[in-house]
Amino acid sequence: MNKKIFVLLVVLMSLSLIGIIFVQSFFINRSLENERQQFTLNVKRALSYVSKQIDDYEYRNYLDNIQPFLKNNKQPDSTSVQRLFVAFEDKENDQTIVHQNIILEERFKVPSLFFEIDADSTDFSNYINEKSTEVFRNSSVDNGSVERISRVREFDDMSDDAKNFLQRGAFKSLISAYNYPIYKRVSPELIENFVKKNLEEQGIQINFEYAIYDNDLSTKIRTDNFEKTENSYGVPIFLDNNNESSFNLWVDFPARNRFLISTILWMIVLSIIFTTVIIVAYTSAIYQLIQQRQISQIKTDFINNMTHEFKTPIATINLALDSIKNPKIIDNKERVLRYLGMIKEENKRMHAQVENVLRISKLEKNELNISKERLKLHDIVEDAMTHIQLLVEDRKGYLKLHLNAAKSSILANETHFTNVIVNIFDNAIKYSDDAPKIDVYSENIGNNILLKISDQGNGMSKQVQKKVFEKFYREHSGNVHNVKGHGLGLAYVKRIIDDHQGHISVESEKGKGSTFIIRLPLIS
């Protein structure tokens, strides 16, 4: 795939994923806002019902208290006027409340009392039951005069709507004139029950705090933890005949946000799950694409290197064969043997390269049979040293052993582990521009033996160190590999050491050489 097309696809897929996440977030926020608006609407509806219920409760309570005194079961005659007086003294407010019931026979029209009623259209005839409630100030009695604060009149024998309208309006006027304390008009338990019941009817079942305020001042009717905030909901209560009131019931929901989120929790959870799946799948796909591109590039490099490595020995073999066929050479036994030796060496070289590839393939398929026996690691290192000693000396370098470990017995395969050490030595030689200088150290740490192979070659960067044991990986210098190879040696080394329950790592710095550290378990 073309690099530009690949980058374009990655960018488009990334933008699409970001767009999907943005759209989901938008719809979740919109749903949350809708739930918030619906919550507000339901709370306000519930509180309006609470306000009406409080008024109804207070009015019914008032009627229940004075009803025994206002009832009269006698039938009035045509001339008599029967009166019933009941007085209540309110010392706290320095007032006296007088209820009286008057039954009289008369035909007349009732004027408007405390609110507008059409007197010409409201006709009450025959027996009229006039009920009145008057409030007097007690201090005025001491001065020899009686000061009436208010008077409320009610009339029976009229239509139910008119009667209820008159009575309720009269009651509101009485309460307004009387200035009854709020804590005597309603109890905290009653407020809590009304609010809880109406909220549940609106589908809101969460904890709440409430308080009644009088002109922005808190009253005794409140919960201990109430705090008035911008998210609190208020409704006027105890409305007068002009639908005005100084009292407001405020309700606050400390867990409102959690409640709102819980209403769309299933949507949030599913969105998170699906988005996570998409992100994981997308990331995995991108990773696989990048890996495939890298593998493709590595395989291309591998084929190029392998072709180059095979091209040289094949060319050498062809030249040797052509030389042998020369009549002047074929009779020269010494030169024929020399060319045959070259053909054999080049053939061995190609065979070794093929074996490297096959060993890695078999290791990956777990088809490589590795039999192990008790061996001395020091003996293996010394044997591996003999394989590359001539190469080191030819480049005027050195390989020194510092084998200080007291114990070096391990369970290993001699052939494969010798190849491991030889591969590391070979890398140290190939990646040293100057004369190779290699030092080998060993030491015992607990039940393990530590083998360190250090060189003073080119070294490698941190990025290369992370990938140096990967199959086919080789460090690039521009577009050309400075050192011939297939990137299989260290991959083979790691697989063999892993199979021996060991561990290999590398410490290196660019331009200052590398140190390969092998840790293997000892056997007693």
Rounded CA gap, 232 and 226, in Å? Answer: 10
Q: Are 47 and 111 contained in the same domain?
A: yes
Neighbouring residues of 321: CB distance < 8 A, sequence distance ≥ 6:
339, 343
The confidence score (pLDDT) of residue 185 equals: 78
On whether both 240 and 300 belong to a single domain, the answer is no
pLDDT tens, N- to C-terminus, the chain (524 residues): 567 787 888 888 888 888 888 888 888 888 888 888 999 999 999 999 998 888 888 777 776 765 655 554 433 333 333 444 455 556 666 666 665 555 444 433 333 333 333 334 434 344 455 666 666 566 654 554 556 555 555 555 545 555 555 556 656 655 655 566 777 778 888 888 999 999 998 888 888 999 988 887 888 888 888 888 888 898 898 877 677 788 889 999 988 888 888 888 888 888 888 888 888 888 888 888 887 777 777 677 667 666 656 776 787 788 888 888 888 788 788 888 888 888 887 787 677 667 766 766 666 566 556 788 999 999 999 988 887 787 788 888 999 999 999 999 999 988 888 888 988 888 888 888 889 999 999 999 999 999 999 998 888 888 888 878 876 665 654 433 444 444 556 877 888 898 889 999 999 988 889 999 999 999 87
In a domain, 270, yes or no: no
Identify the CA nearest to 518 among candidates 463, 464, 440, 459: 440
Last residue of a domain, one of 311, 330, 363: 363
Same domain for 349 and 457? Answer: no
- Judging by DSSP bridges, how do beta strands 108-109 and 123-124 pair with one another? antiparallel
Q: Could you tell me if 67 and 15 lie in one domain?
A: yes
Give yes or no: residues 355 and 381 share one domain.
no
Which of 55, 169, 24, 59 lies closest to 110, judged by CA? 169
Asked if residue 275 is part of any domain, the answer here is no
Q: What is the pLDDT of residue 441?
A: 95
Domain boundary residue among 363, 387, 418? 363
Domain containing residue 302: 291-363
Query: 494 vs 203, 384, 468, CA distance in Å?
Result: 66, 17, 10
Tokens standing for residue 448: 């393990």
> Buried b vs exposed e over 461-487: b needs ≥16 C-beta within 10 Å?
eeebbeebbebbbbbeeeeebeeebbb
Quick check: pTM over 0.85?
A: no
In DSSP terms, 517 is beta-bridged to: 452, 505
The reply to whether 405 falls in a domain is yes
Same domain, 8 and 94: yes
Check which CATH number belongs to the domain holding 468 and give it.
3.30.565.10
The SS3 assignment for 506 reads strand
- 348 with 385, same domain? no
Judgement on whether residues 101 and 2 belong to the same structural domain of the protein: yes
Do 323 and 222 lie in one domain? The reply is no
Answer yes or no: is 97 within a domain: yes
Q: Are residues 209 and 96 located together in one domain of the fold?
A: yes
- Same domain flag for 357 and 378: no
Of 301, 330, 363, which residue is a domain's last? 363
Among residues 446, 440, 343, the alpha carbon closest in space to that of 388 is found at 440
The CA-atom distances, in angstroms, between 493 and each of 70, 284, 287, 485, 516 are 110, 29, 26, 15, 11
In a domain, 335, yes or no: yes
CATH number at residue 340: 1.10.287
Residue 147 lies in a domain: yes
- CA 307 – CA 69 distance, rounded (Å): 120
Burial 340-374 (b: 16+ CB within 10 A, else e): eebbeebeeeeeebeebeebbeebeeeebeeeeee
Domain membership of residue 472 (yes or no) is yes
Is residue 483 domain-resident? yes
Query: 3-class DSSP state for residue 472?
Result: coil
Number of structural domains the chain divides into? 3
In the three-class reduction of DSSP (H, G, I as helix; E, B as strand; rest coil), residue 483 is classed as coil
Residues 358, 393, single domain; the answer is no
Which CA distances in Å does 458 have to 21, 221, 301, 430?
A: 48, 85, 21, 10
Q: Could you count the other beta carbons within 10 Å of the beta carbon of residue 325?
A: 9
User: What integer pLDDT is reported at residue 478 of this predicted model?
Assistant: 40
